Amino acid sequence: MTLLETIEGPADIKQLNAGQLADLAGEIRHFLIDKVLRTGGHLGPNLGTVELTIALHRVFDSPRDRILWDTGHQAYVHKILTGRREGFDRLRQKGGLSGYPSRAESEHDTIENSHASTVLSYADGLAKGFRLRGETDRAVVAVIGDGALTGGMAWEALNNISGAPDRPVVIVVNDNGRSYAPTTGGLATYLAGLRTSPDYERFLEWSKHQLRQTPKLYEALHAVKAGLKDMLAPQGLFADLGLKYLGPVDGHDIAAVEAALRQAAGFGGPVVVHCLTRKGHGYRRAEDDERDHHHAVGVSDPATGEPLGSPGPSWTSVFGAELVEIGRERPEVVAVTAAMLQPTGLAAYAEEFPDRVFDVGIAEQHAVTSAAGLAMAGMVPVVAVYSTFLNRGFDQLLMDVAMHSCPVVFVLDRAGVTGDDGASHNGMWDLPVLGIVPGLRVAAPRDGASLRGALREAVAITEGPSAIRFPKGPVGPDIPAVDQHDGIDVLHRSPGDDVLLVSVGAMAATACAAARRLTEEGLGVTVVDPAWIKPVSPSLIKLAEQYRLVVTVEDGLRVGGYGSLLAQELRDAGVPAPVSGFGIPQRFLDHGKRADILAECGLSPEDLARSIRLRIAADRAPGVRRVEEESR
């Protein structure tokens, strides 16, 4: 039996000696590499937090003490040490272990939201609450990455935490110098400056190697070194804010981290423990992966680490390639990313136009309003962001961009169901959110060709902002129109006026498959793709007059989505046809595979056809129970 197999909870690691801890860290590292390559997931970040997490669970008593993880993608070791080792075979699978903390899984978990930069606010609130309840013996420990620390919300929290010298929050900065790519901005430079000199590092390594021969002396000297460092540590940003600063500590040295955490635990006020770690530590493929140190890997060969399956060009790659073409023609086009240059497809643009790409850190609010500034200066900014993260910059979109009619182009990748990363990662809120923004035009391309077309149209819009949304994954083959009706692409047409099926973006293949089923049953179905879905085209409103039922299908929230918008416009225009909208139900979706989740939402071709059939039957026999419009 391995040491790891004996660990069922944090209590099981508290008595281990230095040698056993080193062995345990090695076993966990091997376990992570083997399991996460098989399932896909955040391998690099978790290889970077092995020793840090072991130290945290030795010093603090979770769950009475709360150990909080910012973003949560680096909490696999926390899950392993809190009794969930067995779940990793089904990591991020439907019904299996979540890739993020999950309160349903464990009392040791708190934050389920994978949006970065929130942890310090949770910690501030928890510490206030514990104090008010008289539970002052409960520690609040917040682990935040150097990337997440570039998010504005983190500094809102730090302003509050540092303003309360008696607020016992332990802030562990997990500083690996990277978000995906190296973290940008002055803060990253500041943190790097806190690192010790290379000479000191070399001496440190030598002395540790020598001292490991006598563990007791090693541990004693560690405490002395940590204390010394505390005295000599540079007074800087954190200290100037009134936060005690401990570090920098070698985040892969369990004893060193433990010593610093024990010191922090006894401090009684807000304290920063600055840990230096390496994303991908201990796995050469990850360490050598200059792209992102294996931030997130797909299903791979556990023996070689080679990704398995190459699903062909992605929506992201189509966008990235077309933007480079546009950039060559139009020097005023610039790009903005919130620490996600590679994942949003902007790497090629940055390669060719390094002065025309701005990585603002994990700071979507700043990304949006700085884009408004770029537009006011005469540039054409393209803000590339995952759909779910645009939520962060909604007020900036509404007030700083749209109210000023700034021609900013928002490219929303990962729109609709993403799946693997759980509820907070689905891009399911963008259409309702974008739908209420005056003057904002919205496109939902159905394939690569229409994505390229929409992007070219968007960068040519001068009177206001626009947004283009597309899903995660392979883009698939182009879906040709079989006809045009007054500028609207017709994708399927069968004789009769039973159903006008309006397909939104990437749902086109599903809509056409459902239409074929209904046509075989003798119904007259026409499928159209408006491409630009906001504002609603007058041609579409006129076309709808000819049909008995209008159906919309979208990979987005049904309530308030495109279906709601079109229904409102049809009512305003006096078009009598009822509207049945199909989309994602208003609930937080559990993790799983995109296709499975869409099917669960009633958005498979079979279910869509069935729902439409029932709706028609109900309309023909009004006494029949009306089909539940709400998707399952």
Ligand X SMILES: CC(=O)[C@@H](O)[C@H](O)COP(=O)(O)O
Ligand Y SMILES: Cc1ncc(C[n+]2csc(CCOP(=O)(O)OP(=O)(O)O)c2C)c(N)n1
Query: Which is nearer to ligand Y, 76 or 349 (by Cβ)?
Result: 76
| Residues of the shown chain interacting with ligand X in the complex, contacts defined by CB under 6 A | 71, 73, 114, 295-296, 343, 414, 418, 421, 472
Picked from Mg ion, ligand Y, ligand X, none, the partner binding residue 362 (CB below 5 to 8 A depending on kind) is ligand Y
Picked from ligand Y, Mg ion, ligand X, none, the partner binding residue 392 (CB below 5 to 8 A depending on kind) is ligand Y
CA distances from 435 to 211, 382, 409, 443, 550 (A): 64, 19, 15, 11, 19
Ligand-binding site membership of 260 (annotated): no
Ligand-binding site membership of 366 (annotated): no
279 catalytic, yes or no? yes
Does residue 70 belong to the site contacting Mg ion (CB under 5 A)? no
Binder among 92, 178, 281, 452 for ligand Y (CB under 6 A): 178
Query: Which is nearer to ligand X, 52 or 296 (by Cβ)?
Result: 296
Binder among 10, 99, 147, 432 for ligand Y (CB under 6 A): 147
Picked from Mg ion, ligand Y, ligand X, none, the partner binding residue 365 (CB below 5 to 8 A depending on kind) is none
Picked from ligand Y, Mg ion, ligand X, none, the partner binding residue 148 (CB below 5 to 8 A depending on kind) is ligand Y
Q: Number of C-alpha atoms within 13 angstroms, CB side, residue 23?
A: 12
Binder among 114, 370, 418, 564 for ligand Y (CB under 6 A): 114
Catalytic residue among 35, 92, 178, 392: 392
Picked from ligand X, Mg ion, ligand Y, none, the partner binding residue 85 (CB below 5 to 8 A depending on kind) is none
Does residue 339 belong to the site contacting ligand Y (CB under 6 A)? yes
DSSP annotation string for 446-500: SSHHHHHHHHHHHTT--SS-EEEE--SSB--S----SEEETTEEEEEE-SSSSEE
Dihedrals phi, psi of 611, to nearest 5 degrees: -65, -40
392 catalytic, yes or no? yes
Catalytic residue among 84, 85, 138, 279: 279
Spatial distance between the Cα atoms of 99 and 90, rounded to a whole number of angstroms: 10
Does residue 116 belong to the site contacting ligand Y (CB under 6 A)? yes
DSSP annotation string for 371-434: HHHHHHTT-EEEEEEEHHHHGGGHHIIIIIIITTT---EEEEES-B---TT-GGG-B-SHHHHH
Does residue 115 belong to the site contacting ligand Y (CB under 6 A)? yes
- Minimal distance, residue 413 CB to ligand X, in Å: 8
- Minimal distance, residue 338 CB to ligand Y, in Å: 6
Spatial distance between the Cα atoms of 386 and 190, rounded to a whole number of angstroms: 28
Picked from ligand X, Mg ion, ligand Y, none, the partner binding residue 421 (CB below 5 to 8 A depending on kind) is ligand X
Q: Number of C-alpha atoms within 13 angstroms, CB side, residue 244?
A: 24
Query: Which is nearer to Mg ion, 176 or 510 (by Cβ)?
Result: 176
Ligand-binding site membership of 283 (annotated): yes
CA distances from 348 to 145, 181, 353, 565 (A): 26, 14, 8, 36
Picked from Mg ion, ligand Y, ligand X, none, the partner binding residue 339 (CB below 5 to 8 A depending on kind) is ligand Y
Does residue 251 belong to the site contacting Mg ion (CB under 5 A)? no
Does residue 120 belong to the site contacting ligand Y (CB under 6 A)? no
Catalytic residue among 364, 554, 569, 600: 364
Stretch binding ligand Y (CB under 6 A), from 170-178, 249-257, 299-307, 345-353: 170-178
Ligand-binding site membership of 159 (annotated): no
Is the Cβ–Cβ distance between 486 and 539 less than 8 Å? yes
| Residue nearest to ligand Y as judged by C-beta position | 145
Query: Which is nearer to ligand X, 423 or 612 (by Cβ)?
Result: 423
For residue 515, the tally of other CB atoms under 10 A from its CB is: 26
Binder among 21, 56, 161, 338 for ligand Y (CB under 6 A): 338
Ligand-binding site membership of 190 (annotated): no
Ligand-binding site membership of 364 (annotated): yes
For residue 473, the tally of other CB atoms under 10 A from its CB is: 17
Size of the site for ligand Y (CB under 6 A): 26
Cα-Cα-Cα-Cα dihedral sign, residues 46, 73, 245, 168:
negative
Query: Which is nearer to ligand X, 84 or 414 (by Cβ)?
Result: 414
Dihedrals phi, psi of 526, to nearest 5 degrees: -120, 125
Of 439, 452, 540, which is closest to residue 488 (Cα–Cα)? Answer: 540
Ligand-binding site membership of 303 (annotated): no
Picked from Mg ion, ligand Y, ligand X, none, the partner binding residue 274 (CB below 5 to 8 A depending on kind) is none
- Contacts (CB under 5 A) with Mg ion, residues 127-186: 145-147, 176, 178
Query: Which is nearer to ligand X, 594 or 610 (by Cβ)?
Result: 594
Of 321, 533, 342, 526, which is closest to residue 432 (Cα–Cα)? Answer: 533
Characterize the bridge pairing of strands 333-337 and 380-386. Answer: parallel
Which residues lie below 8 Å from residue 582, measured CB to CB, with a gap of 6+? Answer: 551, 552, 553, 554, 558, 563, 602, 603, 608, 611, 631
364 catalytic, yes or no? yes
C-alpha 142, offset from chain centre: 19
- Minimal distance, residue 337 CB to ligand X, in Å: 13
Pairs from 121-126 (Cβ < 8 Å, separation ≥ 24): 121/153, 121/156, 121/157, 122/68, 123/66, 123/68, 123/157, 123/161, 123/169, 123/171, 124/157, 124/160, 124/161, 124/167, 124/169, 126/66, 126/68
Query: Which is nearer to ligand Y, 116 or 261 (by Cβ)?
Result: 116
The three-state secondary structure class of 439 is coil
DSSP annotation string for 288-346: T-TTTTTSSB-SB-TTT-PBP-----BHHHHHHHHHHHHHHH-TTEEEEESS-TTTTT-
- Residue window 355-394: x/- pattern of binding to ligand Y, with contact defined by CB under 6 A: -------x-x------------------------x--x--
Binder among 261, 340, 508, 616 for ligand Y (CB under 6 A): 340
Burial class from Cβ neighbours inside 10 Å (0-12, 13-18, 19+) for residue 489 reads buried
- Contacts (CB under 6 A) with ligand Y, residues 256-315: 279, 295
Going edge to edge, which strands form the sheet with 483-485?
A: 483-485, 488-493, 525-529, 499-503, 549-557, 579-584
- Residue window 214-253: x/- pattern of binding to ligand Y, with contact defined by CB under 6 A: ----------------------------------------
Residue 501, sorted as left (phi over 0), alpha (psi -120 to 50) or beta, turns out to be beta
Ligand-binding site membership of 147 (annotated): yes
Q: Name the residue type at position 164.
A: A
Does residue 471 belong to the site contacting Mg ion (CB under 5 A)? no
Q: Name the residue type at position 226.
A: A
- Minimal distance, residue 420 CB to ligand X, in Å: 7
Which residues are known binding-site members?
Answer: 73, 114-116, 146-148, 176, 283, 364
Which residues are known binding-site members for Mg(2+)?
Answer: 146, 176
Positions touching ligand Y (CB under 6 A) are 45, 48, 71, 73-74, 114-116, 145-148, 174, 176, 178-180, 279, 295, 338-340, 362, 364, 389, 392
Catalytic residue positions, numbered = 279, 364, 392
Which residues are known binding-site members for thiamine diphosphate?
Answer: 73, 114-116, 147-148, 176, 283, 364
Positions touching Mg ion (CB under 5 A) are 145-147, 176, 178
